[in-house]
Structure 1
């Protein structure tokens, strides 16, 4: 179940519920195949059922959850073939977009991007898997946002959330540190205007994500 959190009323409750539920799925707090009650989760988050149900329906539309009639929602289970398809699509969509950024002057974005990479490095050093996963997501999507194609950004965000990084645990410090180092190398290549290196490094990084992180848990 999701660890205790509260939602503030000044922003969209649906969006906050969506962010919390998504992160709980990605981090493994809500496990693949586990059935969740919108009512129970709303009680945990201290809000009405409506925004939580809306958040879950959004995840259903994204292929991340599926409805269970008269019970609630469950995290959709992915096969190795499903994960291979996601990996292939990310290569097709994400790599060319990031490579193209090497031809763009990103001087104004340098500090922000550096801070995002640094966040992955610090969380890797701290063995904080949940914070690392959030920072990893933010870094990748920040690069794509600079490409300027909103639909591309939305599609890759959905693909990332479908993958879910099953294999990461607090003990996988070497994996986290390697990934953070790859983030740094990718960013340096983009900022140096080396599109070929950015292409190669991001392709390898995504391959590591598929082979080392995203594998269905053993039953």
Structure 2
């Protein structure tokens, strides 16, 4: 923007300016008046054209500086940046700690203490714990925190029975309809369960186990069924009271081996073997 130069202050008016009588200027001829009128009109047109050109120049200059101009089409507003949910991360961490036996059944845990453990405030921990309460993993203890639910072998057996009622008929139906090349796609997931079982980490194996079962059931095309089965599977993985590590490494390896055998039978379309394997798999479910 051009800066204007301030004028000098007037400290006095010369006497000759006030003393001199006003002079009337000589009036121009009619031809001169017409010529002056035409000249002023032409000058006005040039000034208007120059103003429009200057406006376009200002628009171009503004556009090059990244400013919005009237002739410029508005750029669509970008979508908000998606940020990772702290609550979701804490929920995953609590689920892992629950399966690994780090959260003891019957014990009460407060949100502020767990928040210090995870390096976050108590709010996302409290929200994650409320989700676990909806899933049946913990219960709210007023003014204290959340108590991990104490579960026994009867509840685990009931969960295994419900899972079998849902998954076994689906797997048998899929064994008759899904082509062998589709079952081959699950080979990396079955191998992943074997590696996870070999590590002896219950939490690692629990995640790979659910991943394999979700992928297997997904061939049915029923998302609601897959979600319900996965929720039941997750609940079946919670530790029992008094036995945070009910299954050792050998049990995990044997369970993972059943995945490999089941996949081999599905690829071979051996329905008798599939029927026997899926029936036995849930009796020793994690």
Deviation, structure 1 residue 168: 7.2
Q: Tell me, in whole angstroms, the C-alpha distance in 2 between the residues paired with 1:45 and 1:147.
A: 39
- In structure 1, the gaps of 5 or more residues are 1-8, 214-219
Partner of 1:188: 264
**Residues 239 and 245, structure 2, Cα contact 8 Å, conserved in 1:** no
- In structure 2, the gaps of 5 or more residues are 1-81
Cα 1:79–1:182 change in 2 (3 A) is: same
**Which range moved further: 163-172 or 55-64?**
163-172
Partner of 2:219: 146
Partner of 1:129: 202
Secondary structure of the residue aligned to 1:100 is: helix
Q: Tell me, in whole angstroms, the C-alpha distance in 2 between the residues paired with 1:20 and 1:145.
A: 26
CA distances 1:153-198 after superposition (whole Å, capped 9, x unpaired): 2222222222225457498232122111101111222333334432
Q: Tell me, in whole angstroms, the C-alpha distance in 2 between the residues paired with 1:51 and 1:146.
A: 35
**Residues 138 and 146, structure 2, Cα contact 8 Å, conserved in 1:** yes
Partner of 2:71: none
Q: Which one of the candidate residues 111, 115, 126 is aligned to 1:42? A: 115
Cα 1:50–1:179 change in 2 (3 A) is: same
1:161 partnered with 2:234: yes
CA distances 1:82-102 after superposition (whole Å, capped 9, x unpaired): 222212101101212222222
TM-score by length of 1: 0.80
The structure 1 segments of at least 4 consecutive aligned residues displaced by more than 6 Å after TM superposition are none
- Aligned ranges for residues 17-32 of structure 1 at < 5 Å? 17-32=90-105
Partner of 1:174: 250
Backbone CA RMSD of aligned residues: 2.5
TM-score by length of 2: 0.63
Q: What is the aligned residue count?
A: 201
Q: Tell me, in whole angstroms, the C-alpha distance in 1 between the residues paired with 2:180 and 2:83.
A: 33
Larger Rg: 2
- Aligned ranges for residues 197-208 of structure 1 at < 5 Å? 197-208=273-284
Q: Tell me, in whole angstroms, the C-alpha distance in 2 between the residues paired with 1:31 and 1:179.
A: 24
**Residues 139 and 147, structure 2, Cα contact 8 Å, conserved in 1:** yes
Q: Tell me, in whole angstroms, the C-alpha distance in 2 between the residues paired with 1:98 and 1:131.
A: 24
